[in-house]
Amino acid sequence: MSLNIVVMAAGKGTRMKSALPKVLHPLAGKPLAQHVLDAVAPLPALRTIVITGHGAEWVEQRVHGTDLHFARQQPQLGTGHAVQQALPLLDDEAGTTLILNGDTPLVRRETAEALAAACGGTRLALLTVLLADPSGYGRILRDASGGVLGIREHKDASAAEREIREGYTGMMAAPTAALRRWLSRLNNDNAQGEYYLTDIVAMAVAEGTSVVATQAASEAEVLGVNDPLQLADLERRFQRQQADTLMRAGVRLLDPARFDLRGVLSHGADVQIDVGCVFEGEVQLGDGVQIGAHCVIKNAAIAAGAVIHPFTHIEGDASPVEVGEGALVGPFARLRPGAQLGREVHIGNFVEVKNSRLAAGAKANHLAYLGDATVGERVNYGAGSITANYDGAHKHRTEIGADVHVGSNCVLIAPIRVGAGATVGGGSTISKDVPAGQLAVARGKQVHIEGWRRPVKNPKGEKKT
């Protein structure tokens, strides 16, 4: 079966009260329309067409897919008018055209595939759903034998028709050649003065074309987004779906209601994730990894047995942050792009690591900064110490050999090399290489002033000397 896919993404989304086109609002960190495109990407479509309108340039820049084409609807004169804009791009008259909504992000590939199969190039297939409250949905009108007669838009429905619980989702599959014919006969004789795609149902019935309805597996996958409340509702539904999938696979989520995955999370056995954590991009968690509460982890590979303590931020980029086996990170630590921690490395509270490699057993436990550094095995990096890696124009590297001890409140001015086994005395500012095994101390001489008195204030608050 040859297949075209049309995704309608032209609406403004007035009720979102935002300059951003509705279909670009993010759900789980990804635009609504991109969720739809990703769901149907595995289908063997000849061509996928996105109909844009409001904010067309933004939409066309932000969504992506294989063999993706765009058709603009300007002005927006209804759903039928929208699909009319795609007609010049449809391929293969003998095939099927699948029409989906760009603001229904939870639609499943299986549902879209079943809808296209129900059409089979000869029937008009509608995707419907049974709703406790179908307000706003077009109602499915059936004859006495259950055959589909048409769809009545909510605004045009009578009181009796509004009692019907089977609603039309806005998604259908039609024979491409017949779709061209039906769309050419649409008119806007309705309450809104718009060209309704749903009017083609009555045309199909009049021609004797079989009209069938397939029901979505759940209400959630066909829910659209019209305002921030609905977007938030779908976000929680989607996050709960992801949480349930992870828990069925053995991940221990201490509270699945307080979990957010905005990308892809792979994991080993016996992984535990505390509350309030956010995962973005691609994250890998090895066996026995523990993630403390309120961590944000993006593009990272965390090896077996590592513990990420609460309130830690890990933010990788195209090259993920790497955390070695048995490492301890946090609380309140920050690992930036290029951070690579070896086995059993310790990164403590208020320590920041950027573009640096720490070998096995190295420790920076308190209030420190390591930027553009290579750190050897078993190094102890003292509280308050930093690598001064930027000269105002260029970044420079710091190399610290194995078994080095860097005292508290030191500044290592790059480019610099501290040899294996060396010691840097606390409070030192080091601007020259330190030979292996030696002690380096670079600080002002301590002075004691006898008879010095601390300034005091007089009763009026003025300083008295």
Residues with catalytic function? 366
Nearest of 401, 442, 397 to residue 422 by alpha carbon = 401
Q: How many CB atoms lie within 10 A of CB 278?
A: 16
Angle of the 176-184 helix axis to the 200-207 helix axis, nearest 10: 110
**4 and 95 Cβ atoms separated by less than 8 Å:** yes
Helix (H, G, I), strand (E, B) or coil at 430: strand
Q: Which long-range contacts (CB under 8 A, 24 or more apart) does 218-221 make?
A: 219/129, 219/130, 219/131, 220/106, 221/104, 221/106, 221/107, 221/108, 221/111
Please list the alpha-helical segments (H only) found in 190-316: 200-207, 228-248
Which residues, listed in sequence order, are joined to residue 47 by a DSSP beta bridge? 4
Determine the 3-state secondary structure of 315 from DSSP.
strand
Query: Distance between CA 2 and CA 361 in Å, rounded?
Result: 59
* Distance in angstroms (rounded) separating the CA atoms of residues 59 and 47: 18
Six-digit token pair at 405? Answer: 């001890």
Residue 76: is it exposed, middle or buried by C-beta count within 10 angstroms (0-12/13-18/19+)? middle
3-class DSSP assignment, residue 202: helix
Return the residue matching tokens 């008018």. Answer: 81
Contact partners, residue 19, CB within 8 Å, separation at least 6: none
CA 463 to chain centre: 57
Is the distance from CB of 347 to CB of 324 less than 8 angstroms? Answer: no
In the numeric block, which tokens belong to residue 180? 């061209």
The structure tokens 């300007």 sit at 74
CA 67 to centroid of chain Cα atoms: 23
> In sequence order, which ranges of 395-458 are alpha helices (DSSP H)?
none
Q: 165 is written with which tokens?
A: 């619980």
User: Coil, strand, or helix at residue 29?
Assistant: coil
Q: How many CA atoms lie less than 13 Å away from 176 in the CB half-sphere?
A: 21
Query: Do residues 6 and 100 touch, judged by C-beta distance below 8 A?
Result: yes
